[in-house]
Amino acid sequence: MAADDMDIPAPQDSALTALYAPKPVRPGHPVPHITSLEEYSERWKRSLAEPNAFFGDLAKKLLSWSRPFDVVSFGDFTAGNVSWFLNGQLNACYNCVDRHALTTPEKIAIIWDSDEIGVHRSITFGEVLAEVSRLANVLKAYGVGKGDAVAVYMPMVPEAAYAMLACARIGAIHSVVFAGFSADALRDRILDAKCKVLLTADQGKRGGKTIHLKKIADEALAEAPCVEKVIVFRRTNDPSVPFTSPRDVYWDEEVSKQRPYCPCEPMVSEDPLFMLYTSGSTGKPKGVLHTTAGYLLGVTATTKYVFDLHEGDVHGCMADVGWITGHSYILYGPLSNGVTTVMFESIPTYPNAGRYWDLVDTHKITSFYTAPTAIRALRRLGDEHVARYDLSTLRTLGSVGEPINPEAWLWYHDIVGRGRCNIVDTYWQTETGSIIVTPMPGATPTKPGSATLPFFGIDIAVLDPTTGQELAGNNVTGVLAIRNSFPSVARSIYNDHARFLDTYLNPYKGYYFSGDGVTRDEDGYYWIRGRVDDVINVAGHRLSTAEIESALILHPACAEAAVIGVPDEVTGQAIVCFCTLKAGDEGDIAAALKAQVRTHIGPFATPKRVVITPELPKTRSGKIMRRILRKVAGLEVTEKDLETEDGLREKLGDLTTLAEPGIVAVLVKIFAGRT
């Protein structure tokens, strides 16, 4: 990794440094699973000293096995070869559904709250078992079996959960594609995994808008002939939605032909459970591969301890099932624990900014999980939207997806939590499968803006980005790396293990490289500073700058493109594109290029700004100097700085390697609004 580009994002400016003690237990509320920092610390130390004993016990306690494992962990993680719970056999769907349906069939598994306020539905474990079984039988009838990849492109309806669980039940590998992705993005993901079946819906509803899923899917399928069968769930029943018989079949008609029981396929621990595409530093998305036992243990344990779940709890994770947060904390984690999970179809501001708190009040949510971007947006809209609801059932409030600024943290704590809920800022990634740095509610004193301490079994190292040397002790800043294996870590990239090694394990030999900058403060607390690679995070959505650049240069007018993230008050980061044009192009090219990104990736990737520039700042060897682009677009350089060479060097660092030094002034003037 080039040191030139390894800028560690600056810390969040804040005067808020107070330490918040874990909250006292309120009358009628359960005592937390872990009640002191000492208890956490003892368990964490044991988890590192004796990982096999620790995770072996946990796996027996938290999961149901159809055949016990006889080796807890094996292999060398940092060489890219690790396995957990060898020779064990289990089924993720059995763990999430059957074992609860068999004992408490009437218990609510899923509360679905629709786009329309007041319209919601509760589904029992018994009903989930029947629905999932029927769908599993449909998949089998179409020839889907163990190890086959199935694409899922669904809105936020219970059927999305059934789709994933039905795959898990028969040993098929689900590949969920977020419903905000475009046809091109869906096509690429289907082709990469060679999916033969696609589960989708006619349309989706979100914030009063209609998402034309089937229409988009059809466009994708026109160039993805590997898909033989499309199972279409009717969410809106709009008759104008295209339907191609015999390739397409209706979900309701198909499941009605099948019996409501389907045996679970016994899976060995390391059999793949799912893949999920995520963005990396090249244009091609990676199919991150998770396996059955390790992933399930990681999400079951973290959901239990981090959200401090107890019998009768209702867990409300506001993510979309299309992202890892939805996989782990809407679906697998809560259901494996036998806890009611909420699936929310809408957005936090529809029909008004009280929508989340209406959910909490209506469904008596006990743990609530959302992203800083939503917290910041709601904070701006005023406290009155929170004040009118009864939020007394809440005990734990979680944040995930990007660094949370202390001001937003404090608002969450004071206004939503009313000072009596534990805030858990949880750090993890698609690749880690489950939370890896987090407070333990009831045990860890918190600091606004810090994800605090590692979860059980996680051994964090802070590395000097340039030398790769470990930075020992406290008060250090570097890149976040992990020394050891843990059950839920991804095992590979689908069909590209070499890329897995190159991305995560080869950059710093002997460590897993996270791609994030981090500070370990004087108390040993971790402060995640943001990505140090070419990945940007817009409203908690991870995007690769290279992926956006590849989309831009597909446009006939675009010669070259460089994309960066700039700070944004609500979305954390926003996308700014720098493009040079082929001669002779006219019209509103910036708008056309924005549209190009929407079409190629999806609306959530729409650039905030496209800057047309005569050239890009490059070194004489032709490497784009993104550092310059980031600083100029972040308005860190002003026209005044251009006046002296020293001033400029102070702001931008060494510019002697720049092939055309004049470009800096051109760019600064564009951002000053002067050209």
Residues forming contacts to ligand WT7 in the complex (CB under 6 A) are 278, 324-325, 400-403, 425-430, 451, 514-516, 528, 530-531, 537, 542
Helix ranges (H only) for 442-544 are: 497-500
229-233 and 197-201: which strand pairing? parallel
Q: 254 or 516, CB closer to ligand WT7?
A: 516
460-463 and 422-426: which strand pairing? unpaired
Q: 197 or 480, CB closer to ligand WT7?
A: 480
Q: How near is the Cβ of 426 to ligand WT7 at its closest, in Å?
A: 5
Tokens of 25: 């237990």
Rounded to whole angstroms, how far apart are CA atoms 521 and 341?
Answer: 35
Q: How near is the Cβ of 479 to ligand WT7 at its closest, in Å?
A: 11
Rounded to whole angstroms, how far apart are CA atoms 116 and 236?
Answer: 13
Rounded to whole angstroms, how far apart are CA atoms 407 and 384?
Answer: 18
Rounded to whole angstroms, how far apart are CA atoms 584 and 562?
Answer: 21
Rounded to whole angstroms, how far apart are CA atoms 288 and 275?
Answer: 5
Tokens of 635: 């308005």
Q: How near is the Cβ of 453 to ligand WT7 at its closest, in Å?
A: 13
Contact 319, 426 (CB under 8 A): no
Nearest alpha-carbon partner for 626 in 5, 96, 164:
5
Q: How near is the Cβ of 325 to ligand WT7 at its closest, in Å?
A: 5
Rounded to whole angstroms, how far apart are CA atoms 612 and 590?
Answer: 7
Tokens of 637: 């350089």
Q: How near is the Cβ of 369 to ligand WT7 at its closest, in Å?
A: 10
Q: 241 or 451, CB closer to ligand WT7?
A: 451
Q: 192 or 425, CB closer to ligand WT7?
A: 425
Nearest alpha-carbon partner for 429 in 366, 354, 486, 349:
486
Q: 158 or 280, CB closer to ligand WT7?
A: 280
Q: How near is the Cβ of 528 to ligand WT7 at its closest, in Å?
A: 4
**Distances in whole angstroms, Cα of residue 576 to Cα of each of 108, 357, 566, 569, 629:** 45, 34, 7, 15, 9
Q: 202 or 516, CB closer to ligand WT7?
A: 516
First to last CA, the chain: 35
Total count of residues recorded for the chain: 675
Contact 288, 276 (CB under 8 A): yes
Q: How near is the Cβ of 536 to ligand WT7 at its closest, in Å?
A: 9
Q: How near is the Cβ of 339 to ligand WT7 at its closest, in Å?
A: 19
Q: 539 or 624, CB closer to ligand WT7?
A: 539
DSSP E strand stretches across 376-509: 396-400, 422-426, 460-463, 476-482, 492-493
Tokens of 371: 């992203």
Q: 22 or 540, CB closer to ligand WT7?
A: 540
Q: 144 or 296, CB closer to ligand WT7?
A: 296
Q: 85 or 428, CB closer to ligand WT7?
A: 428
Q: How near is the Cβ of 432 to ligand WT7 at its closest, in Å?
A: 7
559, with CB counted inside 10 A (0-12, 13-18, 19+), is: middle
Angle subtended at Cα 465 by Cα 463 and Cα 468, rounded to the nearest 5 degrees: 55
267-268 and 572-581: which strand pairing? unpaired
Only one residue has tokens 């988009």, namely 216
Q: How near is the Cβ of 538 to ligand WT7 at its closest, in Å?
A: 11
Q: 427 or 511, CB closer to ligand WT7?
A: 427
DSSP SS3 for 623: coil
Q: How near is the Cβ of 428 to ligand WT7 at its closest, in Å?
A: 4
Q: How near is the Cβ of 395 to ligand WT7 at its closest, in Å?
A: 19
Contact 145, 267 (CB under 8 A): no
Q: 294 or 515, CB closer to ligand WT7?
A: 515
Q: How near is the Cβ of 474 to ligand WT7 at its closest, in Å?
A: 19
Residues 296, 77, 431, 368, Cα dihedral to 10°: 50
492-493 and 149-153: which strand pairing? unpaired
Q: 130 or 480, CB closer to ligand WT7?
A: 480
